[in-house]
Every structure is written in structure tokens, then in C-alpha cells.
Amino acid sequence: MQVLEMEHVKKSFNGAALHVLRDISLHVDEGEVVAIIGPSGSGKSTLLRCATLLTEMDSGDLRYSGQTAARSGADGRAVYADKQTLKKIRGYFGLVFQNFHLFPHYSVLKNLTDAQISVLGRGKTEAQQRARELLAKMGLSDKEDAYPCQLSGGQQQRVAIARALAMDPAILFFDEPTSALDPELTGEILKVIRALAEEHMTMVIVTHEMDFARDVADRVIFMDGGVIVEEGKPEEVFAAPKEERTRQFLARFADR
């Protein structure tokens, strides 16, 4: 079963002046790791925001594990499911933000347990057990009583990943998870994501880390100007891009 199906997604801002997504379709299989690359303003983040229901699509279909979150109506506009269905669908995915967005007034442990308790209805003991498991996995067992402001950026992002995982999502989205970090801290995040990939966690990762995308992804998608220009296995896209735009983009990265 496909975990995520997005069909013919279109989105523009400022009325219809700025077309950010022009007919994008994206399917993700269970256990698949998809990396989305592309220049700034290519629509990568907007695509993630549409997938995670933070931004409403103008038109298109959105399904999680066969459940419809939105579909194009007769007039072509996207029609969203009712509140109850959307609440259920939010349980299918998690999102790791570029800027972490941890809850600053909660300790690390509470950041991980609160949504489990108040959204999933888990008991406190069960929630704490799950949280501690994940903190151990992230190498942050000694930080459960710390507050986000006491942690480095890399540690905060690992807590954010653990917070998303604690909800047991079927698919996890990453929106440039290392872009807000100092270069020496990106490694620890990439290591965590790599470990998740080895466990066959279904993931969609928007990233500017080309080497990482090549290593970790099963499929690479190159977006530019609101469309998918090229997609394929990383070795194909990186070593032998078919499209001129992909070649130009990758060449810019190779120059650095």
C-alpha cells in the first residue's frame, strides 16, 4: 500500500499571481526514503506543507494509506475531508521542521510525552516509556529534564525528531532538517536519519545536503519552478541527470 499519494497538486499565492506548485504528483511506498532537492523557491517546502495540512492546496488529491484527506471537486478546487477524518489523518504523519519548534516551556521529556497523552490518549507511564526509548536512541537519555533552551541546535533537532516519532507516524517528513544548524552539527542529524532509513522508516526529506541525499534516499526528486523536473534512483539522477536543469543545479553544488 502506498503511504502517501498526492495527485495533481496545484498551489498559488497572492491570488493566482505566484504559482508555487504546478501540477505535482508524488507517491511514496511504505519503507521508502524519498529525498527532494531543488533550488530555493522551487516549491519543495510548500509541497511538504500541503502534505502535512499546514497549507491548503488549491486543487489536487491527497491520500494517506488510502484515506482521503482532500480531493479535487467538480470545479477543480480541492475539497478537504471533515474535521474528524483530518484529525485521524494527522496521526499518519509527522513533520520535523527546519527550526525545530520545540515547546520551550516543556522539559525534553514533556515535549515527547504531552502529545502522546493528550492527543493519542496514552497513559503517562506508557508515554514516558516510549519517550525514554526514543531519547536513548537519539543519545539524549541524560537530557530528559533539560529545557530546549539548554540544548545545542543539533540536540534540539534530535528531540524534535524523537517528538515526531513518539506519535508513531506511518511517514515522517523533514523540511530541511539541517539548514538551521552550524555545519559541525549537521552530521549528528544526518546520522539519526540514516539510522531511521536502515529501519525502513518511510520518509520524505527536503534537503540541500546532496551527498546525504545520494547516500540515504531510495529515490531522488529534483524540483524547480513548481514542477518535478526529474526523479529516479540517486545514482541515476546524480551521476547521469537527463534534464539540462538538473545538470545545471547539480553543477552549482559541485562547484562549492
Partner 1 sequence: MTVQTMLTSLIQAFGTTLFIFFFTLLGALPLGLLVNACRKSRFAPLSWLTKIYISIMRGTPLMLQLMVVYFGPSLLLGITVPGNWRSTAVVLAFVINYAAYFAEIYRGGIESIPIGQYEAAQVLGYSRLQTYFKIILPQMVKRVLPPVTNEVITLVKDTSLASVIGVVEMFTRAKQIAVAPHSPGMITFLAAAIFYYVFNYAVAFGMERLEKALDYYE
Q: Does 179 contact partner 1 by CB under 8 A? A: no
Cβ proximity to partner 1, 13 vs 103, nearer residue? 103
Reported for 81-90, long-range contacts at CB under 8 A and 24+ positions apart, including other chains, are 86/53, 89/53, 89/64, 90/53
Q: Does 90 contact partner 1 by CB under 8 A? A: yes
72 touches 242 (CB < 8 A): no
Cβ proximity to partner 1, 114 vs 218, nearer residue? 114
239 touches 67 (CB < 8 A): no
Cβ proximity to partner 1, 175 vs 224, nearer residue? 175
For residue 206, the Cα-to-chain-centroid distance in whole angstroms is 7
Restricted to residues 110-129, the positions that interact with partner 1 (CB under 8 A) are 114-115, 118-120
**Of 6, 34, 167, 181, the one binding partner 1 by CB under 8 A:** 167
Restricted to residues 48-77, the positions that interact with partner 1 (CB under 8 A) are 52-54
Going by C-alpha positions, the residue among 185, 188, 232, 200 that lies closest to residue 213 is 232
Q: Does 247 contact partner 1 by CB under 8 A? A: no
Adjacency order of strands within the sheet including 93-96? 93-96, 171-175, 203-206, 33-37, 219-224, 227-232
Binding region for partner 1 (CB under 8 A): 52-54, 87, 90-91, 93-95, 97, 99, 101-105, 114-115, 118-120, 147-149, 163-164, 167
